Amino acid sequence: MDNIIAPKLKKGDTIGFLSVSGDIKDFSRLEKAKELFEKRGYRVVISDTAKMRKNYLCAQDAIRAKALNDFFADKSINAIVSCRGGYGAIRILDKIDYELIKNNPKIFCGYSDITALQLMIYKKTGLVTYNAPMAYSDFGADIDKYSEESFFDTLTQGIKEMCLDKSQIYYAGAASGILWGGNLSTIQSLCGIDFIPEEKFVFVVEDVNEPVYKIDKMFTQLLNISKFKNNLSGIILGNFSNIDNEKYFNDFMTELAQDLKIPFTSGLQFGHEKQKLTFPIGQKVIFDTNISKILFK
């Protein structure tokens, strides 16, 4: 499948804040994020689902799916920034109009639970999405300048390379493929449906508040899928925040790298920490541990 890259963001564009997973408990944070974007020269619309609630979800499944489909169909909206993660994306995967998305490509941003939408959108349409800060979780909560500048620089100018800072090389070498992945526990929740790319991919992965034995279990489940293991060309770890045992974590990753014998490193600044890079999911890259860089084609 050919990749689809949406037009870059430009001043005057309209950005849709899309609430499609967990509920929004403090709407004023979205207003704060809206003000930040408007000061940068953009218009902002907020989905009605941001003011709804169904227990731990922002709205019923059909309503949340319709909000996503409507934002892609709306020609006046140039880019979509998810409000927050939490839970709920996997419940609407069968209600998304992927043909509509393919015919109306636009920037789509998020992380955490939004990983499920990003990977299925890529699988079904080839649209490159962006692992990026979110309106409620980040822009509405005193986003740091590092994350803010990475977001706007990447979406307005594109990205040529990313450096891996303070990386630990588990297995040296170079790999190529699409950059693909996101939140590990969300990716595991997709097991049982057809979500794995047909082409080679460099797996970027992060998680938060997971004990090492569960991280082991999730990696093992994915690697038991032959398509996943056969198409995996490299692994880059993001932030695994609040793990229970650093030694167990490093031991597991070291043993996994020796078993897989593919380029494998840590050092990508993304995940649930305050500082996070914005980068495309689905774009072709070359990843080289020798220079600690990801180069975008």
DSSP secondary structure string, 51-87? Answer: G--BTTBSS-HHHHHHHHHHHHH-TT--EEEE---SS
- The mean per-residue pLDDT over the stretch 232-260 comes to 97
CATH number of the domain residue 214 falls in: 3.50.30.60
Among the three residues 130, 157, 184, which one is the final residue of a domain in this structure?
Answer: 157
Per the listing, tokens 């934002």 go with 71
Do 186 and 76 belong together in one domain?
no
Closest by CA to 114, choosing from 227, 284, 272, 231, is: 272
Q: What is the mean pLDDT of the chain?
A: 97
CATH number of the domain residue 116 falls in: 3.40.50.10740
Contacts of residues 54-57 at CB distance under 8 Å and 24 or more positions apart, as own/partner, are: 54/23, 55/23, 56/22, 56/23, 56/86, 56/87, 56/88, 57/21, 57/22, 57/23, 57/87, 57/88, 57/91
**7 in a structural domain:** no
**6 in a structural domain:** no
**3 in a structural domain:** no
Give pLDDT, residue 4.
97
How many whole angstroms separate alpha carbon 18 and alpha carbon 80?
7
How many whole angstroms separate alpha carbon 118 and alpha carbon 115?
5
Do 184 and 65 belong together in one domain?
no
Give pLDDT, residue 7.
97
How many whole angstroms separate alpha carbon 163 and alpha carbon 292?
6
Do 153 and 167 belong together in one domain?
no
Give pLDDT, residue 45.
98
Among the three residues 97, 130, 157, which one is the final residue of a domain in this structure?
Answer: 157
**179 in a structural domain:** yes
**72 in a structural domain:** yes
- 98-152 pLDDT, tens digit per residue, is 999 999 999 999 999 999 999 999 999 999 999 999 999 999 998 999 999 999 9
Do 79 and 175 belong together in one domain?
no
Give pLDDT, residue 30.
98
Do 32 and 107 belong together in one domain?
yes
Band the pLDDT of 194: cuts 50, 70, 90. Answer: very high
How many whole angstroms separate alpha carbon 185 and alpha carbon 205?
10
Q: By percentage, how much of the chain surpasses pLDDT 90?
A: 98
How many whole angstroms separate alpha carbon 236 and alpha carbon 230?
17
> What would you report as the CA-atom Rg of the chain, rounded to the nearest whole angstrom?
18
Contacting residues for 272 by C-beta, under 8 A, at least 6 apart: 112, 206, 207, 208, 239, 241
Do 168 and 148 belong together in one domain?
no
Task: Using the predicted structure, report yes or no on whether residue 161 has a pLDDT greater than 90.
Answer: yes
Among the three residues 102, 124, 157, which one is the final residue of a domain in this structure?
Answer: 157
Do 194 and 98 belong together in one domain?
no
- 16-52 pLDDT, tens digit per residue, is 999 999 999 999 999 999 999 999 999 999 999 999 9
Domain region containing 127: 14-157
**8 in a structural domain:** no
How many whole angstroms separate alpha carbon 286 and alpha carbon 296?
7
Alpha carbon dihedral 292, 241, 181, 88, in 10-degree steps, equals -160
Band the pLDDT of 1: cuts 50, 70, 90. Answer: low
> Would strands 174-183 and 232-241 be described as parallel, antiparallel, or unpaired?
unpaired
**Which pTM was predicted?**
0.97
**52 in a structural domain:** yes
**38 in a structural domain:** yes
Domain count, the chain: 2
Do 147 and 190 belong together in one domain?
no
